[in-house]
């Protein structure tokens, strides 16, 4: 019986020198992400799920978990600096919410899908049903691991370029702040501190046509 593709790939990784077809595939990914590794082993590690490492007998350090940890921190720094510089009058709350919308698991999973990382990630075929249920986490973690790998291979500037181009759509990503929600959060905070209660809201007037209604809302604190 011929060896399963998964087993065959594992031998390629153990050898330390990916066969030409795997090397070509990684080269296509480098072209997609816009970064070419000096140490391609970092890219291989970023694409190696822990289930793959456990099944093939490699060490924990051959999985992408440590790179994911590093990439998460580096991504947080790069996005924070970008938002701080771009939105010079935004409040801390605005910046925090905008950053969350960029680095959330769902947002990263969408970017990872756009980069087709699923085509390059290696994992245990036997664990696939379980992994599939948490696939957003798996694929978003792999993207963070790639960011960690880029940081180690090319430094912070290389990461900034990647994040700007691929995660922020070359600065064209739509980023908005909900000033009304920020005001409501501030009022809630002040109400809890000063009055030990929460504001209550009530719609008192509705006007205008069906497609463009206007609402007047009343807010009360302890009457």
DSSP for 23-56, written as a single string: HHHHHHHHHHHT---SSHHHHHHHTB-HHHHHHH
Q: Are strands 214-220 and 200-207 parallel, antiparallel or unpaired?
A: antiparallel
Q: Does position 16 have pLDDT exceeding 50, yes or no?
A: no
Question: What pLDDT score does 184 carry?
Answer: 74
* 92 catalytic per annotation: no
Of 164 and 131, the structure prediction assigns the larger pLDDT to: 164
Q: Which of 44, 62, 68, 72 is catalytic?
A: 72
Whole-prediction pTM: 0.69
Q: What is the pLDDT of residues 80-116, one digit of tens each?
A: 999 998 888 888 888 888 898 899 898 999 999 999 9
Q: Cα–Cα distance between 112 and 131 in angstroms, integer?
A: 16
Percentage of residues in the chain having pLDDT higher than 70: 83
Strand extents, DSSP E, the chain: 200-207, 214-220
CATH number (3.30.465.10, 3.40.50.720, 3.30.160.20, 3.10.580.10) of 179-220 reads: 3.30.160.20
Q: Which of 62, 68, 94, 144 is catalytic?
A: 144
Band the pLDDT of 12: cuts 50, 70, 90: very low
Average confidence (pLDDT) over 153-158: 97
Closest CA to 37 of 140, 162, 126, 123: 162
Band the pLDDT of 128: cuts 50, 70, 90: low
Contact 113, 32 (CB under 8 A): no
Q: Cα–Cα distance between 99 and 80 in angstroms, integer?
A: 7
Band the pLDDT of 15: cuts 50, 70, 90: very low
* Among 67-71, 112-116, 177-181, 215-219, the range of highest mean pLDDT: 67-71
Average confidence (pLDDT) over 17-46: 86
Q: Does position 3 have pLDDT exceeding 50, yes or no?
A: no
Write down the mean pLDDT value for the chain: 82
* 126 catalytic per annotation: no
Rounded to a whole number, what is the largest CA-CA distance in the chain? Answer: 78
Long-range Cβ contact pairs of 85-90 (< 8 A, separation 24 or more) = 86/171, 86/175, 87/175, 87/177, 90/177
CATH 1.10.1520.10 residue ranges in the chain? 5-171
The number of residues making up the chain comes to 223
Q: Which CATH class is domain 5-171?
A: mainly alpha
CATH 3.30.160.20 residue ranges in the chain? 179-220
Band the pLDDT of 19: cuts 50, 70, 90: low
Contact 46, 142 (CB under 8 A): yes
């Amino acid at each position: 019986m011929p060896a399963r593709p998964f087993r065959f790939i594992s031998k390629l990784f153990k050898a330390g020198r990916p066969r030409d077809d795997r090397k070509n595939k990684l080269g296509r990914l480098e072209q997609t992400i816009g970064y070419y590794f000096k140490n391609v082993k970092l890219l291989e590690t970023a694409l190696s799920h822990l289930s793959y490492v456990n099944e093939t007998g490699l060490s924990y350090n051959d999985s992408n978990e440590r790179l994911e940890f590093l990439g998460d921190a580096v991504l947080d720094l790069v996005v924070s600096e970008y938002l701080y510089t771009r939105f010079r009058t935004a409040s801390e709350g605005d910046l925090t919410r905008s950053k969350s919308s960029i680095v959330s698991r769902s947002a990263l999973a969408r970017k990872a899908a756009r980069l087709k990382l699923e085509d390059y990630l290696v994992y245990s075929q036997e664990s696939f049903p379980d992994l599939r249920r948490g696939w957003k986490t798996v694929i978003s973690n792999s993207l963070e691991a790639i960011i960690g790998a880029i940081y180690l291979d090319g430094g912070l500037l290389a990461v900034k370029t990647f994040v700007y181009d691929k995660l922020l759509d070359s600065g064209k990503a739509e980023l908005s702040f909900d000033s009304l929600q920020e005001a409501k959060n501030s009022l809630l905070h002040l109400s809890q501190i000063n009055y030990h209660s929460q504001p209550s809201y009530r719609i008192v007037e509705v006007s205008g046509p069906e497609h463009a209604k206007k609402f007047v809302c009343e807010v009360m604190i302890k009457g």
